[in-house]
């Protein structure tokens, strides 16, 4: 587990008494530094040094080394990571980079400059190759035409010496790929990862419009900006922000680490996901803050596009969430959608924040109509806050707020219940909104009616079939006289009345 450090004298892999037979294997998990030293190896067929750091970076530094017969035979084991820096390995010893191993070089002439040995040289296609110099580098002709991993960590960039296919991962830490008339393509399972600590922008070189990656991984601690519209068949993995600008990213699926990792569409970009069906699918979009959408489609399976932009326009009858979601389907008219919209606290205007319950509704901004049918499903207790509704057949620009006078049903805990009950409204007394919880022990035809103190019907809030579960109805008494009112829950098997007080 220690290091090998030689400054002067001889470094012997095996001594003369071994007589060129047997096996001598040194397994090292540390670094190697040879300076002003001479290598000796009396058993070149059977003696070698195996770098076996198992993921820990191991450094090889060679300065003014004289190579005796047998050279300095090195093997980099599966999982090991060898950084040769600017060193050049010479002599007639072997060099074997195993599948799953990683080799870094900072030399301007790339792999060719690092590998000057005349012995057996094996550079596996299933190994990983990294370039981390401080001046412009070339890959070198020794780089296999197909590699598992290609890692760029050089601000000055890397030029391809020949076309390369990445079958595992392309990792962009810093710098640009210069194609030099060559091609960088991806295998069927190839992924493109951005892992910088400064803002990065994609390019045609590593993210081509054809032959591109199956998956996209955002591991940048700042953000990544998409340079043009792109299509990937696989997954977009978000551990940081991806800014789409005005472009469209189409993918098969997405995953994200937390609410701080999302796809920014504030400049008009859109995230399109294919094959949206009956299971709810997350679109992890946002502006300066996370504002996700979940889409389920009970109609024909389709590709759905979602973008969200800032919108502080007025909500005439109350507050709103200050974003607008633009949702489109690929085939118009074939959907039956349940949409769930989410937002963070800083996207609420003051009027919404002060009265979330009465202001929460889903509206299509094309004609400012409330959309969907049945119960609202509402979460105002945890982040992101969400509101959802089914029965939406026309997509377009949506907003959450109170854009018209409305009384509706929300379902804040849609769990199956085994009894019927009607709870006291809250708050009570109220002005002008109140909410009332009730439970249905089984699917029932429901009448939910508000009466005045004389027994006259003031408003019918529910009249139709509802599923079993715990539901919440809300009532807006704006325009009504202050005083005592009664509300009645009536089903085929249950009737109950409660009293409430409206105080202006």
CATH number at residue 362: 2.60.220
Is residue 119 situated within a structural domain?
Answer: no
Considering the domain architecture, whether residues 461 and 476 belong to the same structural domain is answered as yes
Please enumerate in sequence order all residues whose Cβ is within 8 A of that of 94, keeping only pairs 6 or more positions apart, or say none.
44, 48, 71, 73, 74, 75, 117, 119, 120, 121, 122
Report the pLDDT value the prediction gives residue 72, as an integer from 0 to 100.
94
* Whole-number pLDDT of residue 21: 58
Out of 406, 438, 464, pick the residue that ends a domain.
406
Q: What is the structure's pLDDT at 409? A: 58
Provide the pLDDT for residue 197. Answer: 94
Residues 275 and 387 in one domain: yes
Contact 228, 201 (CB under 8 A): no
Cβ-contact 93, 65 below 8 angstroms: no
DSSP character string of 292-311:
-EEEEESSS-EEEEEEEEE-
pLDDT at 392: 93
Classify the C-alpha dihedral 262-263-265-266 as positive or negative.
positive
Give the Cα separation of 220 and 231 in Å (integer).
20
The pLDDT value recorded for residue 491 is 92
Query: Rounded CA gap, 358 and 318, in Å?
Result: 8
Q: pLDDT tens, 244-271?
A: 999 999 999 999 999 999 999 999 999 9
Task: Give yes or no: residues 284 and 384 share one domain.
Answer: yes
Q: Please indicate, yes or no, whether residues 317 and 396 belong to a single structural domain of this protein.
A: yes
356-380 per-position pLDDT tens digit: 877 889 999 999 988 987 668 888 8
Determine the Cα–Cα distance for residues 294 and 120; give it in Å rounded to an integer.
Answer: 56
- Residues sharing a CB contact under 8 Å with residue 2, sequence separation 6 or more, in sequence order: 30
Please state the rounded mean pLDDT for residues 473-489.
Answer: 91
Q: State how far the Cα of 444 lies from the Cα of 437, in Å rounded to an integer.
A: 16
Domain boundary pick from 376, 406, 436: 406
Two structure tokens written together for 151: 């890692």
How does the average pLDDT of the chain come out, rounded? 92
Asked if 415 and 371 sit in the same domain, the reply is no
Residue 104 has pLDDT above 80, yes or no: yes
Q: Do 393 and 425 share a domain, yes or no?
A: no
Calpha distance 482→130 (Å, rounded): 75
Q: Examine the domain organization and report whether 384 and 425 are in the same domain.
A: no
274 shares a domain with 376: yes
Q: Domain span at residue 339?
A: 268-406
> Which position has the higher pLDDT, 404 or 200?
200
Q: Can you tell me the mean pLDDT for 285-310?
A: 96
Checking if the pLDDT of 434 tops 80, the result is yes
In a domain, 438, yes or no: yes
Last residue of a domain, one of 406, 440, 458: 406
CA–centroid distance for 328 within its chain: 21
Residue 218 falls within a domain, yes or no? no
What does the pLDDT average to over 295-322? Answer: 94
Question: What's the confidence (pLDDT) of residue 414?
Answer: 47
Locate 158 and state its tokens. Answer: 């890397």
Mean pLDDT to the nearest integer, 424-449: 88
Is there a single domain that holds both residue 392 and residue 272?
yes
498 within a domain of the structure (yes/no): yes
Could you tell me if residue 308 is inside a domain? yes
Confidence at residue 419, expressed as pLDDT on a 0 to 100 scale: 81
Q: Is 312 contained in some domain? A: yes
pLDDT band at 223 (very low <50, low <70, confident <90, very high): very high
Output the pLDDT for position 431. 87
Indicate whether 441 and 454 sit together in one domain.
Answer: yes
pLDDT of 20 reads 53
Res. 416 pLDDT band, cuts 50 70 90: very low
Both tokens of 405, joined, read 């006078």
- Spatial contact of 279 and 302, defined as CB atoms under 8 Å apart: no
Same domain (yes/no): 339, 366: yes
406 falls in which pLDDT band (50, 70, 90)?
A: low
> How does pLDDT run across 109-157, given as a tens digit for each residue?
999 999 999 999 999 999 999 999 999 999 999 999 999 999 999 999 9
Residue 459 included in any domain: yes
What pLDDT score was predicted for residue 17?
56
Q: How many domains does the chain fold into?
A: 2
Band (pLDDT 50/70/90 cuts) for residue 412 is very low
CATH number at residue 489: 2.60.40.1930
Q: Give the C-alpha separation, 406 to 368, whole Å.
A: 12
Spatial contact of 345 and 358, defined as CB atoms under 8 Å apart: no
First to last CA, the chain: 78
Can you read off the two tokens belonging to residue 369?
Answer: 């109509």
Specify the pLDDT at position 23. 79
Q: What is the pLDDT of residues 443-469, one digit of tens each?
A: 889 999 999 999 999 998 888 888 788
pLDDT in the model for residue 497: 95
On whether both 356 and 425 belong to a single domain, the answer is: no
Q: Is the pLDDT of residue 418 over 80?
A: no
Task: Give a yes or no: residue 90 inside a domain.
Answer: no
Measuring CA to CA, which residue among 122, 131, 192 is closest to residue 160? 131
Given a contact cutoff of 8 angstroms between Cβ atoms, the answer to whether 361 and 388 are in contact is: no
């Amino acid at each position: 587990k220690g290091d090998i450090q030689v400054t002067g004298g001889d470094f012997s892999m095996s001594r003369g008494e071994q007589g060129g037979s047997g096996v001598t294997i040194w397994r090292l998990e540390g670094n190697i530094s040879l300076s002003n030293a001479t290598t000796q190896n009396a058993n070149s067929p059977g003696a070698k040094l195996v770098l076996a750091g198992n993921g820990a970076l191991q450094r090889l530094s060679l300065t003014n080394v004289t190579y005796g017969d047998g050279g300095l035979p090195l093997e980099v084991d599966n999982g090991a990571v060898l950084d040769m820096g600017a060193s050049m390995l010479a002599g007639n010893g072997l060099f074997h980079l195993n599948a799953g191993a990683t080799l870094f070089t900072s030399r301007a002439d790339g792999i060719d400059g690092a590998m000057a040995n005349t012995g057996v040289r094996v550079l596996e296609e299933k190994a990983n190759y990294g370039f981390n110099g401080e001046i412009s580098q070339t890959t070198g002709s020794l780089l296999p035409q197909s590699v598992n991993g290609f890692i760029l960590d050089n601000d000055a960039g890397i030029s391809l010496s020949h076309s390369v296919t990445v079958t595992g991962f392309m990792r962009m830490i810093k710098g640009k790929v210069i194609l030099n008339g060559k091609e960088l393509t991806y295998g069927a399972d190839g992924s493109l990862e951005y892992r910088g600590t400064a803002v990065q922008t994609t390019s045609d070189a590593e993210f081509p419009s054809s032959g591109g990656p199956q998956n996209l991984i955002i591991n940048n601690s700042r953000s990544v900006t998409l340079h043009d519209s792109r299509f990937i068949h696989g997954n977009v993995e978000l551990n940081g922000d991806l800014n789409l600008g005005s472009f469209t990213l189409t993918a098969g699926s997405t995953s994200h680490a937390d609410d701080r990792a999302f796809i920014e569409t504030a400049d008009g970009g859109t995230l399109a996901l294919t094959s949206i069906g009956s299971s709810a699918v997350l679109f992890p979009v946002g502006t300066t803050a996370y504002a996700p959408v979940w889409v389920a489609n009970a109609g024909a399976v389709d590709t759905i596009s979602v973008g969200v932009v800032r919108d502080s326009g007025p909500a005439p009858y109350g507050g709103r969430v200050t974003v607008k979601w633009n949702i489109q389907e690929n085939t118009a008219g074939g959907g039956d959608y349940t949409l769930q919209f989410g937002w963070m606290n800083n996207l609420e205007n003051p009027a919404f924040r002060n009265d979330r319950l009465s202001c929460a509704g889903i509206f299509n901004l094309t004609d400012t109509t409330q959309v969907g049918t049945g119960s609202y499903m509402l979460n105002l207790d945890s982040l992101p806050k969400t509101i959802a509704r089914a029965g939406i057949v026309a997509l377009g620009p949506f907003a959450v707020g109170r854009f018209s006078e409305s009384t509706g049903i929300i379902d804040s805990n849609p769990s199956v219940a085994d009894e019927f009950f009607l709870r006291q409204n809250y708050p009570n007394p109220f002005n002008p909104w109140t909410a009332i919880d009730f439970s249905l022990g089984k699917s029932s035809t429901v009448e939910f009616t508000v009466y005045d103190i004389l027994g006259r019907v003031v408003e019918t809030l529910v009249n139709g079939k509802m599923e079993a579960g715990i539901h919440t109805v809300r009532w807006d008494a704006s325009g009504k006289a202050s005083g005592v009112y009664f509300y009645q829950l009536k089903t085929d098997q249950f009737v109950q009345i409660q009293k409430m007080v409206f105080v202006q």
